[in-house]
Structure formats: C-alpha cells, structure tokens
Amino acid sequence: FINKNKKHSNNLPSGPTQIPFIGNLHQIKGSLHTCLHDLSKKHGPMMLLRLGVVRMVVITSSEGAEEVLKTHDLECCTRPTTIALKTFSRNGNDIGSGVYGETWRELRKLSVREFFSVKKVQSFKYVREEECDLLVKKLKESALKQSPVNLSKTLFCLTGSIVSRTAFGQSFFENKHIGEERVEELMLEAHKNMSLKFTDLFPTGGLGWFLDVVDTFLDHIIDDHQSKSFTQDRPDLIDTVLEMIHKQEDNESFKLTIDHLKGISTNIYLAGVDTSAITMIWAMAELVRNPRVMKKVQDEIRTCIGSKQKERLAEEEIDKLQYLKLVVKETLRLHPPAPLLLPRETMSQIKIQGYDIPPKILLLINAWSIGRDPKYWKDPEEFTPERFIDSPVDYRGKSFEFLPFGSGRRICPGMASAIATIELGLLNLLYYFEWSLPEEKKHMDMEEAGVVTVVKKIPLELIPSLHQ
C-alpha cells in the first residue's frame, strides 16, 4: 500500500497527516462537508485525504471546481460511494451512478426526454397545484387548532406525492400495495438511507426493510402498468419505458430492460423527494429566523396576488414573484441539499490546479464550502436574498461559486422540476399562513445532519395561523 502511494506521490496536494489503516478518519467528526470545510481552512483549497481505504482529493475553490467540471468531465466517472447507493443503483443500471458509456448516455437521454424536459415538467403543473392545495387544506385545520406542525414531515410527504404521481402515475397515499403507516416512514427513510455514513469504508450493508419496500412498490407499479389494471388519461414514465422495451428490435446495440426502468425510477424517487423537501424546510427555517426577509417576501406575494384571497394558487403567479425566487437562490447557497455533489473518480492521471492526480482517486467538490467562501460572497453567513439582485450568478451550472445542482454532464437533470415544486410549495405556505415558533422554543436550531444529502437535524416545527 505504501509503495502504491509512493509511486504517485510526486506532485499531489498536501493534506492533514494520516495515520496507518484509518488515514484521516479520526479527524471526521459530525457532518462530512463541515469537517472537510474546516480542514481545508488549514490545508488549502485542494487537499489529499484518506478515509479508511478510500483516497480522495477535496476541492473547495470555485476555480478548482470549474477545472474538474469543465475540463476533466470526460476523465472522471461518478462513483457510488456507499453500499447503499450501489444497491439502489442496481449495479450501475441507472443514471446517478452508472459509469460513462452507452448505457449511461442512453438512460440519461431517455429520462431527460421522457421526464425531466421543461415541456414534461410544465405538463405536470396540475399535479403540483393539486398536491399543494391538499397541503393547504390540512394546514388550515392545524391553523384553526393553533397546533404545531412538523413541517419537515409534511414537506417530505408533499414532494413524495408529487414525485410519485409525476413519475409513476399514482400517489403513495392512494396505492394499495404498501400499508398507509409505511408510506410516511418510506418518505422519511429515503433521507436516512441517503445519509448512511461511510458504509463503503467499513461496509455494513443491512438496509433492512427499506429496500424491500421500495423494490416491492416498484414491482407492483410495473405489474399494474403491464397488466393495464391501472389506467390513466396520460402515459407516465413507466408506460413510456415499458412500451420502448416491448418495441425494441433484436439488433439494437443498447437493450433497455426492466432493471434499467427500476434503476431510473429509484434514482428519481431518491434524488427527487429528499432534495426539494430539504430546500423548502431550510427556506422556512431561515425565513422564521429572519423576520425582515419573511415580511418582505410575504408582502411581495400578497401585493402581487391581490387583496381578495384566492381559493387555490396557480403556478403562473410565480412569474411575478422576483423576491421569492431570490429567497430560493439564497437558501440553495447556504444549504445546498447535496453539499458534496456526486463524488467523481479519476479514470486516468489528470492535472488539477497544477497538481497531478492519479487514476482511481475520489474527487469531492465541496459546494457548501464554496457557497460560503468570503472571496466570492460578502457576509457569507448572512441570509440576504438581495445579494442576487442584478447579479449574473445563477444555479444553472455556469457560475462555479454557486453549484447547488452541480455542473457539466452530470448536472442535476431534475432542476426545473425541483424549482417548480419548491417555488409553488413556498408560495402556498407564505400566502395563506403566518408562521411562528412554538412558545417553548426560544430560537431556531440550524444544526445539519446527513452525508449525501443534508437535512435540518431537528425537524422543523412551526405553528401556522391563517392570514386574514
């Protein structure tokens, strides 16, 4: 092992001292992205670490991130870092962890065309509006009773229903295959499993019932679609892919299978439910602890929509709400749900920021750290949506100081769908209700938890009051 390390050690970035066997594991306490952030302050924006058997270079500068994501995209593959992700990905038969090659290209192209395109996202507007309407009705009951609402759970359920209806044609809450008590667990468990800690460094496996439930759910959904026991007005992703599987010719070089369909579906569920809910949860937490911003965004919404209260909000209202959009951007800057993006692995020797990085090294880009770098952001810890007024900095992958959705060929394909859900979800929460902390809570706790995706550790509990 030492010889192998020496062979490549000529021009590698430096990093904290490693100790035998565990490397730098003893220095990782709490969240991985914050530990790496703290270490990089001491050891620089390119840092070499070893966690157990995994060697990695951590990048915490916008310039380094740009070089990797623009120049070296071809020489890196994304790497399923945990046993959990490997299992979810069905051995690379998916988009999130598939190695570059024909399969990955075909699956990404297919899912963008059939699910992620702006046209498809717009066609699901009615689902988002209906689900938000249901949410408002439930919240109104709590508002009348003045009882605290667990917004973390509520928002996971909202995004779960939206993703499930848009991708699989049915809501988790209406499906007959999983007991209702399991559905809520399933939503919350998705997050816990995405945050498994270091399972490939010291593999433990054992994901228990969660994987079984996801698998059983998908099996039933596919069976229902195949047997036509389930019909709806418009074909969903499952219908489209099943039709493609049936129609493909024997001589085609790429063969689409049920495993691919399950891989894409699992990716969409895991990547979609968690991230959008997390963003809304952090946005609400920041707004409650920043009353000035809360007032400004609610004033904008209520002025634009008019004084007569609407029964139900349409997605078009959002076009007029510039400040709400800035609130979403600022939330994604301070709380990117996937703070280390998808880990890349070098496939050949490459040069980054003057260093020689050998093949088979994990590259982690700390988007969380870059989003708080005082070099690019004034008062970076402050929640100030105004910083984006007249600024060309955007989350679409061209501004390397702001990378909540990543960049390059692996950029999040679900961006349009996520933004539509987040903006409409927040619009509904902020238009109909005033929000306050329960009396016994004196201040908003902002502690984070998770590795792949990072959520507010203590669930967000707030009391809604009806806005008159």
Q: Which residues bind ligand HEM (CB under 6 A)?
A: 78, 95-96, 108, 163, 267-268, 271-272, 275-276, 279, 336-338, 341-342, 404-408, 410-414, 417-418
Nearest alpha-carbon partner for 414 in 102, 116, 172, 4: 116
Q: Which is nearer to ligand HEM, 90 or 410 (CB)?
A: 410
CB atoms within 10 A of CB 428: 22
Give CA angle at 90 (88, 93), nearest 5°: 120
Q: Which is nearer to ligand HEM, 23 or 401 (CB)?
A: 401
- CB 159, CB 273: distance < 8 Å: yes
Rounded to a whole number of angstroms, the minimum distance from the CB of residue 54 to ligand HEM is 17
Nearest alpha-carbon partner for 187 in 207, 162, 205: 162
The C-alpha atoms of residue 406 and residue 336 are separated, in whole angstroms, by 10
Rounded to a whole number of angstroms, the minimum distance from the CB of residue 411 to ligand HEM is 5
259: which 2 tokens?
């495993």
Q: Which residue is nearest to ligand HEM (CB)?
A: 406
Rounded to a whole number of angstroms, the minimum distance from the CB of residue 336 to ligand HEM is 6
Q: Which is nearer to ligand HEM, 163 or 238 (CB)?
A: 163
Q: Which is nearer to ligand HEM, 13 or 160 (CB)?
A: 160
Q: Which is nearer to ligand HEM, 168 or 230 (CB)?
A: 168
The region, left, alpha or beta by phi > 0 then psi within -120 to 50, assigned to residue 455 is beta
Please indicate if the annotation marks 157 as binding a ligand.
no
Nearest alpha-carbon partner for 84 in 260, 269, 210, 186: 210
Tell me which DSSP letter residue 365 carries.
E
The C-alpha atoms of residue 246 and residue 131 are separated, in whole angstroms, by 33
Rounded to a whole number of angstroms, the minimum distance from the CB of residue 396 to ligand HEM is 12
Residue owning tokens 């916008």: 62
DSSP annotation string for 297-311: HHHHHHHHH-SSPPS
Q: Which is nearer to ligand HEM, 33 or 410 (CB)?
A: 410
- CB 407, CB 342: distance < 8 Å: no
Rounded to a whole number of angstroms, the minimum distance from the CB of residue 331 to ligand HEM is 9
Rounded to a whole number of angstroms, the minimum distance from the CB of residue 129 to ligand HEM is 17
Binding-site annotation, residues for heme:
412
Binding-site annotation, residues:
412
